[in-house]
Protein backbone atom coordinates (compact mmCIF):
# COMPACT_ATOMS: atom_id res chain seq x y z
CA UNK A 1 0.00 0.00 0.00
CA UNK A 2 1.16 3.48 -0.82
CA UNK A 3 1.64 5.68 2.25
CA UNK A 4 0.94 8.88 0.28
CA UNK A 5 -2.69 7.78 -0.08
CA UNK A 6 -3.25 7.78 3.65
CA UNK A 7 -1.62 11.17 4.17
CA UNK A 8 -3.62 12.81 1.37
CA UNK A 9 -6.97 11.33 2.39
CA UNK A 10 -7.23 13.90 5.17
CA UNK A 11 -7.79 17.52 4.41
CA UNK A 12 -5.51 19.94 6.24
CA UNK A 13 -6.49 23.58 5.97
CA UNK A 14 -4.40 26.59 6.84
CA UNK A 15 -6.01 29.60 8.48
CA UNK A 16 -6.01 31.29 5.07
CA UNK A 17 -8.29 28.61 3.67
CA UNK A 18 -5.92 26.90 1.21
CA UNK A 19 -5.06 23.21 1.26
CA UNK A 20 -1.88 22.50 3.15
CA UNK A 21 0.60 19.90 1.89
CA UNK A 22 -0.27 16.27 2.57
CA UNK A 23 2.88 15.71 4.62
CA UNK A 24 1.51 18.08 7.25
CA UNK A 25 -1.89 16.40 7.53
CA UNK A 26 -3.20 16.23 11.09
CA UNK A 27 -4.25 13.08 12.89
CA UNK A 28 -7.70 11.79 11.91
CA UNK A 29 -10.58 13.74 13.48
CA UNK A 30 -13.24 11.14 12.75
CA UNK A 31 -14.04 7.80 14.28
CA UNK A 32 -14.44 6.42 10.75
CA UNK A 33 -11.61 4.12 9.71
CA UNK A 34 -9.52 5.59 6.90
CA UNK A 35 -10.37 3.82 3.61
CA UNK A 36 -7.66 1.65 2.07
CA UNK A 37 -6.40 2.47 -1.43
CA UNK A 38 -7.70 0.27 -4.22
CA UNK A 39 -5.62 -1.91 -6.55
CA UNK A 40 -7.35 -3.48 -9.54
CA UNK A 41 -6.28 -5.18 -12.74
CA UNK A 42 -5.91 -1.91 -14.69
CA UNK A 43 -5.27 0.76 -12.03
CA UNK A 44 -3.89 1.51 -8.60
CA UNK A 45 -4.90 4.51 -6.52
CA UNK A 46 -1.75 6.43 -5.67
CA UNK A 47 -3.27 9.48 -3.95
CA UNK A 48 -6.73 10.70 -3.02
CA UNK A 49 -8.06 13.68 -1.14
CA UNK A 50 -9.76 17.04 -1.26
CA UNK A 51 -8.58 20.52 -2.08
CA UNK A 52 -10.17 23.45 -0.25
CA UNK A 53 -9.61 27.08 -1.08
CA UNK A 54 -11.48 29.92 0.55
CA UNK A 55 -14.04 27.64 2.16
CA UNK A 56 -16.28 27.42 -0.91
CA UNK A 57 -13.95 26.04 -3.59
CA UNK A 58 -13.89 22.33 -2.64
CA UNK A 59 -12.68 19.69 -5.11
CA UNK A 60 -11.65 16.05 -5.11
CA UNK A 61 -8.13 15.23 -6.34
CA UNK A 62 -7.18 11.70 -7.46
CA UNK A 63 -3.98 10.18 -8.84
CA UNK A 64 -4.02 6.74 -10.45
CA UNK A 65 -1.20 4.57 -11.75
CA UNK A 66 -2.14 2.56 -14.82
CA UNK A 67 -1.05 -1.06 -14.39
CA UNK A 68 -2.03 -2.33 -17.81
CA UNK A 69 -2.70 -0.91 -21.29
CA UNK A 70 -6.37 -0.18 -21.82
CA UNK A 71 -6.55 -0.90 -25.58
CA UNK A 72 -7.34 1.05 -28.74
CA UNK A 73 -8.52 4.67 -28.47
CA UNK A 74 -8.26 4.63 -24.66
CA UNK A 75 -10.15 7.14 -22.55
CA UNK A 76 -11.33 7.53 -18.97
CA UNK A 77 -14.17 9.02 -16.97
CA UNK A 78 -14.05 9.63 -13.23
CA UNK A 79 -17.33 9.98 -11.36
CA UNK A 80 -17.18 11.73 -7.99
CA UNK A 81 -20.00 11.28 -5.49
CA UNK A 82 -22.03 14.46 -5.21
CA UNK A 83 -22.52 15.34 -1.52
CA UNK A 84 -26.06 16.53 -2.31
CA UNK A 85 -28.38 13.51 -1.99
CA UNK A 86 -30.17 12.53 -5.18
CA UNK A 87 -27.92 14.61 -7.45
CA UNK A 88 -25.93 13.11 -10.31
CA UNK A 89 -22.24 12.41 -9.68
CA UNK A 90 -19.76 15.09 -10.71
CA UNK A 91 -17.59 13.87 -13.60
CA UNK A 92 -14.31 14.58 -15.34
CA UNK A 93 -12.52 12.62 -18.04
CA UNK A 94 -10.33 12.61 -21.10
CA UNK A 95 -8.29 10.62 -23.58
CA UNK A 96 -5.28 8.52 -22.62
CA UNK A 97 -2.04 8.58 -24.56
CA UNK A 98 -0.70 5.11 -25.52
CA UNK A 99 2.37 5.50 -23.29
CA UNK A 100 0.53 7.19 -20.39
CA UNK A 101 1.12 5.49 -17.02
CA UNK A 102 -0.55 7.95 -14.63
CA UNK A 103 -3.81 9.90 -14.43
CA UNK A 104 -4.30 12.97 -12.25
CA UNK A 105 -7.84 14.27 -12.17
CA UNK A 106 -9.67 16.91 -10.17
CA UNK A 107 -13.42 17.12 -9.86
CA UNK A 108 -15.58 20.09 -10.66
CA UNK A 109 -16.23 22.29 -7.60
CA UNK A 110 -18.51 20.59 -5.07
CA UNK A 111 -21.72 22.39 -4.05
CA UNK A 112 -20.93 21.64 -0.36
CA UNK A 113 -19.21 19.00 1.79
CA UNK A 114 -20.25 16.89 4.77
CA UNK A 115 -17.49 16.54 7.35
CA UNK A 116 -16.36 13.16 8.76
CA UNK A 117 -17.65 11.19 5.80
CA UNK A 118 -16.42 8.80 3.09
CA UNK A 119 -17.24 9.62 -0.52
CA UNK A 120 -17.26 7.23 -3.49
CA UNK A 121 -15.09 7.85 -6.57
CA UNK A 122 -15.20 5.59 -9.66
CA UNK A 123 -12.58 5.52 -12.41
CA UNK A 124 -13.97 4.03 -15.63
CA UNK A 125 -11.56 3.01 -18.39
CA UNK A 126 -12.73 2.71 -22.00
CA UNK A 127 -11.29 1.23 -25.19
CA UNK A 128 -12.95 2.38 -28.40
CA UNK A 129 -15.88 3.69 -26.36
CA UNK A 130 -16.48 0.34 -24.60
CA UNK A 131 -16.09 0.00 -20.84
CA UNK A 132 -13.02 -2.14 -20.08
CA UNK A 133 -12.70 -1.68 -16.31
CA UNK A 134 -14.10 0.14 -13.30
CA UNK A 135 -11.94 1.04 -10.30
CA UNK A 136 -13.81 2.21 -7.15
CA UNK A 137 -12.46 4.06 -4.12
CA UNK A 138 -13.71 5.69 -0.96
CA UNK A 139 -12.16 9.04 -0.03
CA UNK A 140 -12.57 10.51 3.44
CA UNK A 141 -13.17 14.17 4.23
CA UNK A 142 -12.45 14.87 7.89
CA UNK A 143 -11.17 18.06 9.49
CA UNK A 144 -11.45 19.48 13.03
CA UNK A 145 -14.66 21.38 13.78
CA UNK A 146 -12.75 24.56 14.68
CA UNK A 147 -11.24 24.64 11.16
CA UNK A 148 -14.70 24.23 9.64
CA UNK A 149 -15.76 27.40 11.48
CA UNK A 150 -12.51 29.35 10.91
CA UNK A 151 -12.47 28.76 7.17
CA UNK A 152 -16.24 29.18 6.74
CA UNK A 153 -16.29 25.83 4.96
CA UNK A 154 -19.42 25.40 2.86
CA UNK A 155 -20.98 22.41 4.63
CA UNK A 156 -24.10 20.64 3.40
CA UNK A 157 -27.39 21.22 5.21
CA UNK A 158 -29.47 18.32 6.56
CA UNK A 159 -31.92 18.86 3.70
CA UNK A 160 -29.11 18.58 1.12
CA UNK A 161 -27.67 15.30 2.45
CA UNK A 162 -31.07 13.70 3.05
CA UNK A 163 -32.40 11.71 5.96
CA UNK A 164 -30.68 8.46 4.91
CA UNK A 165 -27.19 9.60 5.98
| Cα four-point dihedral sign 40, 41, 45, 46 | positive
- Work out how many domains the chain is built from and give that number: 1
Asked if residues 82 and 89 have their Cβ atoms less than 8 Å apart, the reply is yes
CB atoms within 10 A of CB 13: 22
pLDDT at 119: 95
pLDDT at 158: 83
Asked if residues 1 and 47 have their Cβ atoms less than 8 Å apart, the reply is no
- Its pTM stands at 0.80
pLDDT at 10: 38
pLDDT at 94: 97
Instruction: For residue 100, give its domain range.
Output: 3-161
Helix or strand or coil: residue 130?
Answer: strand
Asked if residues 126 and 74 have their Cβ atoms less than 8 Å apart, the reply is yes
Specify the CATH number for the domain of residue 22: 2.60.40.10
pLDDT at 147: 87
In which residue ranges of the chain is pLDDT below 50?
1-26, 28, 164
Q: Select from 68, 74, 76, 120 the least CA-distant residue to 97.
A: 74
Amino acid sequence: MNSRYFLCALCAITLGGALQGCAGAPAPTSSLPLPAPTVSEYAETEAAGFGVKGGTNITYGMTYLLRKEVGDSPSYMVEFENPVAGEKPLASGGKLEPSQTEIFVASPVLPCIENHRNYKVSLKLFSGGNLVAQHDDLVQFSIPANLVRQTKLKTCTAAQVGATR
